[in-house]
């Protein structure tokens, strides 16, 4: 994507063209390769992750190429097509209700437990496989066929590995070693700013740190959706505003239709970011931006990609004419049909798009 705005250039890195359809392909490869190299994962093992969608899809796409399977724990309020894609890719999908990260049944915490369970099962299988059948029957009271019914993972599972995209710094390294250098090379170093939203924080952290090391003059920014505390963290040094103080916040603070971005805790990945500032985006702006880009440039983007583009325009407005700004087009709109692109759903939330240009951002 290339958009001229007030004698400025906004460039979008088209990560939705990756084989798995999103920027998360980069971290899926990096996480699995590092896990195999360290021995935390072995061929025949199960890569397990708690994900709102894109990372899960990338892991499910990549894992078979390394001789592994994929088990995904996903919130049951995300777009249904993400679960359908995962199942089509051969992943096991476990849908859970959305709760706070502090709750034991948060999708990330469930995924962590499933990895432990897979390892326990693999260990027991190795132990029993070394025991003669007769002794095994006397010890367990079950024959192998009956045991099979109680297994949570396949009998040939060699163990589980919790991908842990939020805290695993392979995420950061994928973008520090890949995305950042590519942006620098593809722009020939002629960029003035980079902006992106954060979910795990890996993209904005890896790219910002690399670009800052190449040139301290490059400004790096965060664009944050409703319900997320990162905007306050970057601009005020605290995660919560007075209205969001502990004990006053809603049970589910993520009151946004943008999926995969926004968070109310600091991850190991996000803490690696080098940011000069942050902007707050709205759901309405993301919806309007997605339709604007579809009509003007023929680009069909997902919700987080649209929010990134909102951020790019905000940066352009802040810096003034004569600057080149880069952002990430994380995924396309095909994974967002049942919510972000569904007219009835948007109407119920008062988010029906109506703009004819960029007037929703104060531009003609």
The predicted structure's pLDDT at residue 133: 59
pLDDT band at residue 146 using 50, 70 and 90 as cut-offs: very low
**For residues 223 and 82, which has the higher predicted lDDT (pLDDT)?**
223
Average pLDDT value for residue range 35-58? 93
CB 358, CB 317: distance < 8 Å? no
Strand partners, 161: 47
Distance CA 324, CA 335 (A): 29
The predicted structure's pLDDT at residue 155: 82
Distance CA 122, CA 48 (A): 14
Highest mean pLDDT among 70-84, 124-138, 205-219, 234-248: 205-219
Phi, psi (deg, nearest 5) at residue 288:
-65, -40
Segment 333-359, tens digit of pLDDT: 999 999 999 999 999 999 999 999 999
Distance CA 278, CA 220 (A): 9
On the question of pLDDT at 3 being above 70, the answer is no
The predicted structure's pLDDT at residue 190: 97
Q: Which of 71-80, 312-321, 346-355 has the lowest mean pLDDT?
A: 71-80
Residue 19's CB is within 10 A of a number of other CB atoms, namely: 11
pLDDT band at residue 152 using 50, 70 and 90 as cut-offs: confident
The predicted structure's pLDDT at residue 32: 98
Distance CA 194, CA 308 (A): 10
Segment 236-275, tens digit of pLDDT: 998 865 545 444 444 344 478 998 899 988 999 999 999 9
Helix (H) or strand (E) holding 345: helix 343-348
Segment 11-28, tens digit of pLDDT: 999 999 999 999 999 999
The predicted structure's pLDDT at residue 4: 53
């Amino acid at each position: 994507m290339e958009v001229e705005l007030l004698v400025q250039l906004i460039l979008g890195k088209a990560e939705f063209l990756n084989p798995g359809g999103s920027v998360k392909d980069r971290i899926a490869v990096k996480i699995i390769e590092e896990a195999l190299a360290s021995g935390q994962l072995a061929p025949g093992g199960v890569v397990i992750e708690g994900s709102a969608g894109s990372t899960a899809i990338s892991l499910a796409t990549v894992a078979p190429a390394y001789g592994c399977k994929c088990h995904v724990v996903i919130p049951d309020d995300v777009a249904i097509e993400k679960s359908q894609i995962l199942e089509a890719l051969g992943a096991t999908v476990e849908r859970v209700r959305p709760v706070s990260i502090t709750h034991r049944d948060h999708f990330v915490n469930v995924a962590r437990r499933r990895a432990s369970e897979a390892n326990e099962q693999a260990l027991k299988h190795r132990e029993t496989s070394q025991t003669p059948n007769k002794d095994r029957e006397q010890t367990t009271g079950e024959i192998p066929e009956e045991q099979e019914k109680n297994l949570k993972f396949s009998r040939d599972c060699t163990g589980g590995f919790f991908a842990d995209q939020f805290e695993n710094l392979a995420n950061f390294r994928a973008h520090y070693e890949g995305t950042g250098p590519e942006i620098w090379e593809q722009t020939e170093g002629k960029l003035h700013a980079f902006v992106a939203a954060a979910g795990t924080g890996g993209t904005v952290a890896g790219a910002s740190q690399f670009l800052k090391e190449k040139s301290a003059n490059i400004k790096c920014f965060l664009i944050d959706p409703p319900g997320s505390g990162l905007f306050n963290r970057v601009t005020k040094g605290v995660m919560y505003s007075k209205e969001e103080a502990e004990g006053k916040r809603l049970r589910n603070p993520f009151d946004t239709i943008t999926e995969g971005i926004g968070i109310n805790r600091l991850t190991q990945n996000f803490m690696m970011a080098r940011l000069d500032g942050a902007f707050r985006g709205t759901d309405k702006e993301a919806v309007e931006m997605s339709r604007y880009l579809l009509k003007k440039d023929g680009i069909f983007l997902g919700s987080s990609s649209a929010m990134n583009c909102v951020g790019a325009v905000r940066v352009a407005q802040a810096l003034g004419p004569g600057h080149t700004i880069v952002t990430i087009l994380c995924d396309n709109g095909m994974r967002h049909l049942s919510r972000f692109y569904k007219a009835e759903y948007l109407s119920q939330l008062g988010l029906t798009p109506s703009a004819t240009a960029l007037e929703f951002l104060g531009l003609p």
